[in-house]
């Protein structure tokens, strides 16, 4: 019995860690990059790309090594905001009014506001450009953003950025008014975020900063010095732009951490770093080909790129750093996903969850080392993007995937589908497949014939998910907007008061 107190010490320590995380109310910075995916990080085994600041963040973090998102950007972002799978948020595309996140959801900044947090968005929103869908109408207190899915984009619908906008010196919508900035877009977004963070810290207000870069999404344009680094190595213009943007993101991660240290915010600030989907093709290169002499294409031994439903299409980095609270240099291999971010941050801040909405789980038990009670589950993804006006049920059986801890079930893909075009699929029009992701993480061997019962179970789970999601696809019959709100707002302001220069904060 005299040993009992010593046996209880680990349990007491675990309880103290749990108490320190649950309701601990740190400042929160969530950084999400666009189309970077998992591979372009030095610590992920990249053979030639240098990312010293991301590597340092990696080393100081607990990493979820099997973190799943959606195949494209709006869907993932909606899952972060609601805690449920994208189709249940009405998101079945990235344009054509199907990128608008349902208004019948309580989203992350609204939830955090209930427990005293202020929230700021810096960069990309991409969940609706019409007034009622904008982030300043949905709980964000500070917005410094571009429109559409990228700077300068425009489509035959409401989804459009300010007219003729550029990555260098972009026009930005700041709290409802356009301003003319100076500098490269990613640098500008981090500068704005840092200025806001400093102001919140000076007032000792808990904050949630959502830094959502549009880089390294195409067009592949990087600051001149970053692009030159890669063209000097023999890269083409697009590849130099893509990897130059990654390098620039890395520099800004370092700048962020330096300022947090200077302002003595590091010890009370949780940082999450992630990407929104798998690495994009085009700028990142072509599988199986060198980008320049001595610089092979690298996809971390995964099958699939952005827009498909294989592991490389939906697996992204997920680093969680909080010195003294979250273990550094630790890997967690339990399946986690975009739907888990909201319940995790709610638990961390003590915020109540909305009723009948959240499908994800708080990741705090895993961060605290409690893995034995973590039950297996399914995470679903669908490429969607069927033609506007088509019946989604006609596309239920194609371009989807179901994932649990061990297996990935990949549905059929039609010839000419995004899977066949973008993911480097072995042949268009593939049949369903089952992969053992533990023994075959590169998806080299289809084992569906050997384990039909597992495939049937996973397909049945997906069918149930579709049955639940289908009534919530609220944008399918939405008419195309005859106007582009960002164009209208910009032109009205330009004609009346002009577009003032943005005064960057002093850091």
The pLDDT tens digits of the residues spanning 81-112 come to 999 999 999 999 999 999 999 999 999 999 99
Dist CA 364 CA 172 (whole Å): 36
Segment 397-402 shows an average pLDDT of: 97
Dist CA 483 CA 155 (whole Å): 10
Q: Is it true that the peptide bond before 216 is cis, omega within 30 degrees of 0?
A: yes
Q: Say if CB 66 and CB 314 are below 8 A apart.
A: no
Q: Say if CB 328 and CB 61 are below 8 A apart.
A: yes
Supply the pLDDT for residue 475: 98
pLDDT for 8 beyond 70: no
The partner residues of 82 in beta bridges, in order of sequence, read none
| Residue 41, token pair as written in the block | 């990080």
- The domain defined by 19-367 folds into Alkaline Phosphatase, subunit A (3.40.720)
> How far does CA 296 lie from the centroid of its chain?
26
Q: Say if CB 183 and CB 169 are below 8 A apart.
A: yes
Torsional sign, CA 183, 188, 190, 196: positive
Dist CA 465 CA 191 (whole Å): 41
DSSP of 13-57? HHHHHHHHHTT---EEEEEEESS--SSSSGGGT-SS---HHHHHH
Dist CA 318 CA 330 (whole Å): 12
List Cβ neighbours of 137 (8 Å cut-off, separation of 6 or more).
131
| Residue 293, token pair as written in the block | 């002499």
Coil vs helix vs strand at 176: coil
Cα–Cα distance list, 138 to 92, 176, 425 (Å): 20, 13, 39
Cα–Cα distance list, 250 to 57, 243, 266, 326, 491 (Å): 10, 11, 18, 22, 35
pLDDT for 415 beyond 80: no
Is 234 exposed, middle or buried (CB count within 10 Å of its CB: 0-12, 13-18, 19+)? middle
Q: Say if CB 149 and CB 99 are below 8 A apart.
A: yes
Spell out the domain ranges in the chain: 19-367, 379-472
Q: Which long-range contacts (CB under 8 A, 24 or more apart) does 161-168 make?
A: 161/486, 162/486, 162/487, 162/490, 163/486, 163/487, 163/490, 163/491, 167/214, 167/215, 167/219, 167/221, 168/221, 168/223
Share of the chain above pLDDT 70, in %: 93
Dist CA 385 CA 307 (whole Å): 10
Q: Say if CB 76 and CB 85 are below 8 A apart.
A: no
> How far does CA 472 lie from the centroid of its chain?
22
- CATH assignment of 379-472, given 3.20.20.10, 3.30.1120.10, 3.30.390.50, 3.40.190.10? 3.30.1120.10
Q: Say if CB 409 and CB 401 are below 8 A apart.
A: yes
Confidence tier at 414 by pLDDT (50, 70, 90): low
pLDDT for 418 beyond 60: no
Q: Say if CB 89 and CB 107 are below 8 A apart.
A: no
Segment 439-457 shows an average pLDDT of: 98
List Cβ neighbours of 178 (8 Å cut-off, separation of 6 or more).
162, 171, 172, 489, 490, 493, 494, 499
pLDDT for 484 beyond 60: yes
Confidence tier at 283 by pLDDT (50, 70, 90): very high
Q: Which of 19-23, 87-91, 218-222, 470-474 has the lowest mean pLDDT?
A: 19-23
What is the distance between the terminal CA atoms of the chain, rounded to a whole angstrom?
58
The pLDDT tens digits of the residues spanning 207-265 come to 999 999 999 999 999 999 999 999 999 999 999 999 999 999 999 999 999 999 999 99
Stated as kind and residue range, the H or E segment containing 296 is: strand 295-296
Q: Which of 41-50, 111-120, 187-196, 198-207 has the lowest mean pLDDT?
A: 198-207
Rounded to a whole number of angstroms, the CA Rg of the chain reads 22
DSSP state of 268: G
Segment 284-298 shows an average pLDDT of: 93
DSSP of 316-345? E-EEEE-TTTS-SSEEE-S-EEGGGHHHHH
Supply the pLDDT for residue 429: 67
Dist CA 8 CA 74 (whole Å): 47
Q: Which phi and psi (to 5°) does residue 393 adopt?
A: -65, -25
| Residue 361, token pair as written in the block | 């789980």
The partner residues of 495 in beta bridges, in order of sequence, read none
Dist CA 419 CA 433 (whole Å): 14
The pLDDT tens digits of the residues spanning 152-190 come to 999 999 999 999 999 999 999 999 999 999 999 999 999
Dist CA 358 CA 111 (whole Å): 12
Q: Say if CB 40 and CB 51 are below 8 A apart.
A: yes
Segment 488-507 shows an average pLDDT of: 97
HSE-up (13 A, CA, CB side) for residue 44: 24
- Give me the chain's average pLDDT, please: 93
Supply the pLDDT for residue 2: 39
């Amino acid at each position: 019995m005299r040993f009992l107190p010593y046996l209880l010490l680990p349990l007491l320590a675990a309880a103290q860690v749990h108490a320190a995380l649950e309701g601990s109310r740190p400042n929160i910075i969530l950084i999400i990059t666009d189309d970077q995916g998992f591979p372009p990080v030095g610590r992920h085994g990249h053979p030639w790309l240098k990312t010293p600041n991301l590597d340092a963040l990696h080393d100081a973090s607990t990493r979820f090594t099997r973190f799943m998102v959606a195949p494209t950007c709006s869907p993932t972002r909606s899952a972060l905001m609601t805690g449920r799978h994208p189709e249940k948020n009405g998101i079945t595309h990235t344009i054509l009014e199907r990128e608008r996140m349902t208004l019948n959801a309580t989203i992350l900044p609204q939830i955090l506001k209930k427990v005293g947090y202020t929230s700021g968005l810096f960069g990309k929103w991409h969940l609706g450009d019409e007034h009622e869908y904008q982030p300043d109408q949905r709980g964000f207190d500070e917005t410094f953003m571009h429109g559409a899915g990228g700077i300068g984009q425009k489509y035959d619908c409401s989804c459009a950025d300010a007219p003729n906008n550029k990555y260098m010196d972009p026009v930005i919508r700041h709290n409802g008014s356009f301003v003319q900035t100076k500098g490269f877009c990613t640098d500008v977004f981090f500068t704005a975020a840092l200025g806001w963070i400093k102001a919140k810290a000076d007032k000792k207000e808990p904050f949630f900063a959502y830094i959502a870069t549009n880089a390294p999404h195409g067009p592949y344009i990087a600051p001149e010095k970053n692009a030159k680094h890669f063209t000097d190595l023999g890269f083409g213009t697009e590849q130099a732009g893509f990897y130059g943007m990654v390098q620039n993101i890395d520099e800004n991660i370092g700048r962020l951490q330096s300022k947090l240290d200077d302002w003595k915010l590091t010890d009370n600030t949780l940082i999450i770093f992630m990407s929104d989907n798998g690495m994009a093709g085009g700028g990142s290169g072509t599988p199986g080909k060198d980008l320049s002499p001595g610089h092979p294409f690298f996809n971390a031994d995964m099958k699939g790129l952005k827009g498909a439903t294989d592991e490389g299409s939906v697996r992204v980095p997920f680093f969680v750093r909080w010195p003294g609270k979250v273990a550094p240099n630790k890997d967690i291999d339990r399946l986690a996903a975009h739907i888990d971010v909201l319940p995790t941050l709610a638990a961390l801040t003590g915020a109540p969850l909305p009723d009948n909405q959240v499908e994800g789980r708080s990741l705090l038990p895993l961060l605290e080392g409690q893995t034995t009670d973590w039950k297996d589950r399914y995470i679903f993804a669908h490429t969607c993007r069927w033609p506007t006006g088509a019946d989604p049920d006609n596309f239920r059986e194609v371009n989807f995937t179901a994932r649990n801890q061990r297996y990935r079930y990949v549905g059929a893909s039609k010839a000419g589908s995004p899977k066949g075009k973008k993911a480097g699929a072995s042949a268009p029009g593939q049949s369903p497949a089952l992969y053992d992701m533990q023994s075959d993480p590169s998806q080299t061997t289809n084992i569906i014939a050997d384990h039909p019962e597992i495939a049937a179970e996973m397909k049945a789970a997906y069918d149930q998910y579709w049955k639940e999601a289908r009534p919530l696809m609220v944008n399918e019959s939405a008419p195309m907007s005859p106007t582009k709100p960002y164009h209208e707002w910009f032109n009205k302001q330009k004609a009346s008061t002009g577009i003032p220069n943005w005064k960057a904060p002093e850091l």
